[in-house]
Amino acid sequence: MSLFTSLEKKIVLVTGGFQGIGREVVTTFQNEKAIVIAADLSYQNSDLKRLNDFEYQIHLDVSDETSVKNLADQLKTQNLTPNILVNVAGISTMDYLIDSQTSDFDKTLAVNTRGTYLVSKYIVKLMVAAKRPGKVVLIASQAGKNGYRAMSAYVASKHAVLGLTKTLAIEVAKDQINVNAVCPGIIETSMKHRERKDGAKIRGLTADDIEKEDNSQVPLGRTGTPKDVANVVLFLASPLSDYMTGQGINVTGGMTMN
Which amino acids are annotated catalytic? 154
Inter-residue contact 95 to 150 (CB < 8 Å): yes
Q: Which of 235, 243, 182, 245 is nearest to 28 (CA)?
A: 235
Q: What angle do CA 11, 235, 222 make, to 5 degrees?
A: 125
| SS3 of 196-230 | HHHHHHHHCCCHHHHHHHHHHCCCCCCCECHHHHH
| Half-sphere exposure of residue 203: CA atoms within 13 angstroms, side-chain side | 18
